[in-house]
């Protein structure tokens, strides 16, 4: 398996991913015209034909042998510059009565655009048949998640100081969001799927127009909805754990529709950004692997970016020896360089 930039002829494969992603996956709606536009935007970003602050870097996980798309992930260069980027910020209000000698604190939700201008790692999705407990399947999710950090590290000057990731919130067995049922539906004249679809299509102005501008007291919400605040969908837990290991933390911001957490960090503090390094490449017909799935390599060209697992780290001379198969998968030649991450340090 390898990571590569999405190509203009990947539309059918991307739509298949969007159809499997399902409800609540806001950044990957099942809309062919929109997905075609996303692919074109990404292609122009990799070709460096758009402003740095308006770039979407979209990647696919590809089976190198068959060309089949197994998943996807993306990086937004900066959010909120063209389209408003909203969250709820969880806060606390204190109320006291001297006469009754009572003191109470109440959790509140404030509509916020605090993350405007930050980068976002997003759109991570892995098809169900490529997940699982087998080691090779666990590696697929890690490859999708960690390859983005190698890209950011290699092209650090193209990104701002901070990065965030929105996590999908809790849905019940009937695919309903308790958070939405208790809050959002009272302000939007539509069901969750329609609101989610519009947001995924970039039509977000209605959020600021229809949501209350004053703090929302969570005590007026159902107990089931309150329990969803800052919690993730069961399928999202592995992705959240990988982000937490990289150093991203929840700072009290949640999705306005499903209540899922938004985690964040300063880019220079992200472990994979700090600990990955560039090494020259040599190619050997046979090179024994040191360990399984420990070393992740990525190329240093923006439009020809590739990332894949390799079987060993740098030698005592600071050179990375690749097998012919590994070099072909990464599309590198002897004398070129790759960025290498020891994932043991970030797990």
**Among candidate residues 179, 159, 144, the one with its CA nearest the CA of residue 74:** 144
When pLDDT is cut at 50, 70 and 90, the band that residue 62 belongs to is: very high
Return the structure tokens found at 204: 């977000």
pLDDT at 61 over 60: yes
Instruction: Compute the distance between CA of residue 53 and CA of residue 55 in angstroms, rounded to an integer.
Output: 6
* pLDDT tens by residue, 320-332: 999 999 999 999 9
pLDDT at 22 over 80: no
95, 115, 233, 235: the catalytic one is 233
State the DSSP string of 17-32. HHHHH-TT-TTS-S-H
The CATH classification number of 2-87+113-271 equals 3.40.630.30
* pLDDT tens by residue, 39-50: 999 999 999 988
Return the structure tokens found at 243: 């982000």
Helices then strands, counting H and E runs in the chain, come out as 10, 15
Q: Where do the structural domains in the chain lie, given as residue ranges?
A: 2-87+113-271, 276-346
Instruction: Compute the distance between CA of residue 81 and CA of residue 118 in angstroms, rounded to an integer.
Output: 10
**Among candidate residues 142, 216, 222, 134, the one with its CA nearest the CA of residue 177:** 222
Known catalytic membership, residue 137: no
* pLDDT tens by residue, 104-160: 888 999 999 999 999 999 988 888 888 765 555 568 888 999 999 999 999 999 999
pLDDT at 346 over 60: no
Same fold, 2-87+113-271 and 276-346: no
* pLDDT tens by residue, 176-187: 899 999 998 888
Q: Which of these CATH numbers, 2.40.30.200, 2.40.40.20, 3.40.50.300, 2.60.40.420, describes 276-346?
A: 2.40.40.20
Instruction: Compute the distance between CA of residue 301 and CA of residue 284 in angstroms, rounded to an integer.
Output: 22
Say whether pTM exceeds 0.75. yes
**Among candidate residues 226, 222, 233, 230, the one with its CA nearest the CA of residue 23:** 233
């Amino acid at each position: 398996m390898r990571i590569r930039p999405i190509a203009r002829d990947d539309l059918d494969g991307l739509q298949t991913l969007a159809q499997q992603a399902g409800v609540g996956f806001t950044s990957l709606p099942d809309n062919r015209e929109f997905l075609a536009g996303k692919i074109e935007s990404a292609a122009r970003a990799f070709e460096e034909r758009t402003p740095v602050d308006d770039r979407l870097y979209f990647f696919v996980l590809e089976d190198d042998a068959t060309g089949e798309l197994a998943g996807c992930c993306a990086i937004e260069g900066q959010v909120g510059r063209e389209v408003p980027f909203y969250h709820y910020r969880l806060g606390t209000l204190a109320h006291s009565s001297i006469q009754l000698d009572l003191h109470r604190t109440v959790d509140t939700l404030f509509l916020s655009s605090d993350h405007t201008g930050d980068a976002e790692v997003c759109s991570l999705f892995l098809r169900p048949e490529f997940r699982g407990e087998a080691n090779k399947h666990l590696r697929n999710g890690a490859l999708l998640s960690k390859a983005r950090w190698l890209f950011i590290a290699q092209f650090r000057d193209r990104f701002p100081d901070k990065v965030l990731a929105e996590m999908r919130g809790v849905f019940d067995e009937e695919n309903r969001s308790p958070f939405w049922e208790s809050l959002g539906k009272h302000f939007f004249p539509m069901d969750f799927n329609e609101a989610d679809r519009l947001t995924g299509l970039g039509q977000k102005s209605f959020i600021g127009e229809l949501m209350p501008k004053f703090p929302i007291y969570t005590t007026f919400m159902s107990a089931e909805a309150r329990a969803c605040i800052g919690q993730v969908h069961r399928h999202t837990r592995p992705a959240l754990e990988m982000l937490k290991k990289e150093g991203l933390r929840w700072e009290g911001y949640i999705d306005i529709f499903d209540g899922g957490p938004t985690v964040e960090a300063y880019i220079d503090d992200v472990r994979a950004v700090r600990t990955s390094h560039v090494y020259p490449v040599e190619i050997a017909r046979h090179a024994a692997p040191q360990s399984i799935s420990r070393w992740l390599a990525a190329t240093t060209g923006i439009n020809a970016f590739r990332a894949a697992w390799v079987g060993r780290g740098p030698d005592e001379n600071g050179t990375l020896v690749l097998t012919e198969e590994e070099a072909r998968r990464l599309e590198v030649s002897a004398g070129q360089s790759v960025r290498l991450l020891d994932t043991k340090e970030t797990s």
